[in-house]
Every structure is written in C-alpha cells, then in structure tokens.
Amino acid sequence: MIDLLVHVRDHVTLSLAALAVALAIGVPAGVAIASAPRLRDVSLAAIYVARVVPSLAVLAIMLPLVGIGFAPSLAALTLLAIPPIALGTELGLAGVPEAVREAARGLGMSEREVRRRIDWPLAMPVVFGGVRTAAVEVVASATLAAFIGGGGLGEYIVNGIEANDRTETLEGAVAVGILALATQALLTLAERRLSAFR
C-alpha cells in the first residue's frame, strides 16, 4: 500500500511538472501564433504533425540525449503536452469576435485591457479544453517513464512484464486508468466552475 502511494506520488509529481513547463511554453506560443497571421498556417501544421509522434518514440529519442531518470521523462512529457495547450490557446484567442474587440477599443480600452478583460475571459473555455487534453495525455503517458527509470505507476507494469506477473501488470494499468479518469473529471469540474460566469 505504501508502495502504491509512492508510485502515485511520483506519477503525479512528474505529470504536474510536465504540465507546468508545457503551460509556460505552450500558452505564450499560442498567443504568438494567434497574433501573427503569417505564422499561423505553418505553426498549426507543425503542431498537428507533433501530435501524431508517439510518446514512446519521443522517450526513445530523449534517452541518448538526456540519459535516464526523471529529467528525460519530464522533457518527453512536456513535448507531448505543448501542442494541445498551444493549439487551445491559439483557437481560443482567434475565436474572439472582431466586433467585440473593435467595440472594446472604441470604448477606450488599451491593448492590455482588451487582452485582460475581453480576450482571455472569452478564450478561456477553449484554452482550458486544450489544457485538459494535455493533462489526460500526460497522466496516461507518464506510465512510459518507468521504462527509462522515471518512476511512477508504470513501475508495476514494467515489473509485471519482467516477472511475468500479469496481476501486477494489470494493477498498474488499472491504477493509471483511474488516475487519468480522475484528472479528466477534476478538470472538467474546474472548467465548469471557471465558465460559470458565462
């Protein structure tokens, strides 16, 4: 039981760290793409391509570059989480009606006030959708970190495979599944809270 709690803690820590770094990079990237129409098509294409690279492949590529353990796992999961976050940010901001922005400027809002009072509140549901997608993917994929010594619930699966112990493998899989579903549920709830004013 203590064993399980340690693995859950490692799993969640790794996922949260990856999400935090991905937010710090993905949101500004989304803002940049949204405000540079010429950049948009190329960037979106790049994002969609990045979305189809399997996380295991990313881990394999990272291995010789950063070695094994927490750091390469974090790097790989971050790369995985950036595209949905950047995409959600871009789509959310691009979806703010031009008439609303025009009216806001006409009433005397500065560009910063338009961002803060109009753009972000209106974009938030879509941005948050991207974050939710990223979070669930990260939690599910963090399992693979165990293969390169990153710890987490994937340990059960790795150990189970090595010891040919199906029960242990299954325990790990179920635990990851529950954690991913819980993440999804929690963020959906938070999203509803956030959007309650709309």
Partner 1 sequence: MTSGGAAVDISDVVVSYPGSDRRAVDGVSLEAAAGELVVLLGPSGCGKSTLLRTINRLVVPDSGTIRIDGEDVRSSPPEALRRGIGYVIQAVGLFPHMSVGRNVGMVPELLGWERARIDARVDDLLALVQLDPARYRGRLPRELSGGEQQRVGVARAIAAEPRVLLMDEPFGAVDAIVRLALQDETLRIHRALGTTIFFVTHDVDEALRMADRIVVMNAGRIVQADTPLRLLSHPATPYVERLMDAGDAVRRLRLIAVRDAMRAPDGAATQASIDGDGTLRDALSAFLDGVERLAVTDAGAPIGSLGFDDVRHAIARTVA
102 is an interface residue for partner 1 by CB under 8 A: yes
Residue 127 touches partner 1, criterion: CB under 8 A: no
68 in contact with partner 1 (CB under 8 A): no
Q: Which is nearer to partner 1, 103 or 178 (CB)?
A: 103
Instruction: Using alpha carbons, select from 79, 19, 83, 94 the residue that is nearest to residue 48.
Output: 83
Figure out which of the listed residues 8, 44, 121, 173 binds partner 1, where binding follows CB under 8 A. 121
Which listed residue (105, 115, 149, 191) binds partner 1 by CB under 8 A?
105
Token pair listed for 99:
């008439």
Taking CB under 8 A as the criterion, which residues in 79-98 touch partner 1? 97
Neighbours of 125 (CB within 10 A): 16
Among 24, 39, 34, smallest CA distance to 134 is for: 24
Query: Total number of residues binding partner 1 (CB under 8 A)?
Result: 20
CB of 76 to partner 1, least distance (A): 37
Q: Does 37 participate in binding partner 1 (rule CB under 8 A)? A: no
Using CB under 8 A as the binding rule, whether residue 71 contacts partner 1 is answered as no
Q: How far apart are CA 112 and CA 104, in angstroms?
A: 11
Q: Examine residue 6 and tell whether it contacts partner 1 (CB under 8 A).
A: no
Tell whether residue 190 is a contact of partner 1 (CB under 8 A): no
> Which tokens belong to 30?
């989304």
Task: Determine the straight-line distance between the first and last CA of the chain, rounded to whole angstroms.
Answer: 43
8 A C-beta contact, residue 125 and residue 195: yes
> Rounded to an integer, what distance in angstroms lies between the CA atom of residue 189 and that of residue 123?
18
Return residues touching partner 1 (CB under 8 A).
97, 99-110, 113, 117-118, 121-122, 197-198
